[in-house]
């Protein structure tokens, strides 16, 4: 039901999403890339639609805390990673959730990720506590192990699907033919692949 709604020509669309990473996500989730600073792009193909992810790592340090908002703005999703052996890291996740909801409302897809499940014997954050917390704030919970490369791909796939659903719902709300007036900078950018046949009218008003 979701696919048809996108203003008729839902054929060759590419969705671009921005996802912010909070917590220890970067080192654990993103494979090291030479010469690229804390930033990663990921291309996925989901139910025949192309999705480009731009993944932004953000600093968790207190000294840069005040600067967080400029990282979060315009993001479609957030991945909040805690270490299941470290209760403090889970507390931090809770703070970030509050901040993100305050800043970006309910449109942002939140993923709370319990990492290091290979160290389950040292677990300090219980599965039940984490999952019920996630549910209470409208987030989804995931279990990963960066070391064993477990659960990471699923996390991204699932997040993409959710972001696409949000985007499509937003499109439907805007009504037909709204794709050209990408309303604000916020939210998804959807690019039609085919060059427009007639460049008349709207092409100069897209600023």
Partner 1 sequence: MIRKMFRCQVELRAYWRKLKAFVKTLSLQRQMMENLIIAKARQDALQRKMEERRLRLQEEANRRFAASGAMTAEEQEQRTLYTSVLEYEQDHDWPKLWKANMKENPNDVTLVSRLVSYLLSQSDHPVVKLLRKHQYRVYNRLYPMISKSLPQSPNLLLRPSCSTHTLLHPETQRKPTSTVSSSSQSVSTSLSLSPSLSHDLHANCDNEEGEELPAQATVDRENSFEDLEQFLTQMDWAPPHSSRGDVGSDSDPTCDSSMLNEGHTQELEMRALKEHLKAIVKDIHIAIDQLLSLCLLSFEFLNTASSKDLCLASIEEAFFTPLWSALVALFRKVNREREQAFETSMKLYRDASPGDVGVPLKLFPQEPGTLQGSYPYESAVQELKLLVKDCCPQKKLECIVRTLRVICACAEDYRCLHEVDSTPKTAAIGADDLLPILSFVALQCQCPQLVSECAALEEFIHEGYLIGEEGYCLTSMQSALAYVESLHTGGAHFPADKLI
Cα torsion angle, 116, 43, 39, 93, sign: negative
The residue among 166, 101, 107 whose CA lies nearest residue 137 is 101
What residues between 25 and 44 interact with partner 1 by CB under 8 A?
Answer: 26-27, 30, 32-39, 41
Q: Which of 60, 152, 156, 168 binds partner 1 (CB under 8 A)?
A: 60
What is the β-pairing status of strands 49-57 and 39-46? antiparallel
Q: How far apart are CB 186 and partner 1 at their closest, in Å?
A: 10
CA pair distance 118, 143, nearest whole angstrom = 10
Question: Does residue 180 interact with partner 1 by CB under 8 A?
Answer: no
Question: Does residue 187 interact with partner 1 by CB under 8 A?
Answer: no
Q: How far apart are CB 67 and partner 1 at their closest, in Å?
A: 4
Pick the closer one to partner 1 by CB: 134 or 166. 166
Residue with tokens 């990282």: 71
Q: Which of 8, 12, 64, 147 binds partner 1 (CB under 8 A)?
A: 64
User: Of the listed pieces 79-87, 143-151, 164-172, 183-191, which binds partner 1 according to CB under 8 A?
Assistant: 183-191
CA pair distance 82, 86, nearest whole angstrom = 8
The two three-digit tokens of residue 30, written as one number: 């993103």
């Amino acid at each position: 039901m979701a696919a048809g709604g996108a203003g008729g020509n839902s054929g060759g669309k590419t969705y671009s999403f921005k996802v912010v990473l909070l917590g220890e996500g970067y080192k654990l989730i993103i494979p090291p890339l030479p010469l690229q600073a804390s930033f990663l792009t990921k291309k996925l193909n989901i139910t025949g639609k192309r999705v480009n992810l731009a993944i932004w790592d953000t600093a968790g340090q207190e000294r840069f805390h005040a600067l967080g908002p400029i990282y979060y703005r315009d993001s479609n999703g957030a991945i909040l990673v805690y270490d299941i052996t470290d209760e403090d890291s889970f507390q931090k996740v809770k703070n970030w959730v509050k901040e993100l909801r305050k800043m970006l409302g309910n449109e942002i897809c939140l993923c709370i990720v319990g990492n290091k499940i290979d160290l389950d014997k040292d677990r300090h954050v219980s599965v039940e506590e984490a999952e019920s917390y996630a549910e209470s704030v409208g987030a989804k919970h995931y279990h990963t192990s960066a070391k064993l490369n477990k659960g990471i791909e699923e996390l991204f796939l699932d997040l993409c699907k959710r972001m696409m659903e949000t985007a499509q719902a937003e499109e439907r709300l805007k009504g037909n033919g709204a794709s050209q007036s990408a309303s604000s900078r916020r939210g998804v950018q959807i690019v039609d692949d085919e060059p427009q046949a007639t460049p008349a009218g709207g092409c100069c008003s897209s600023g």
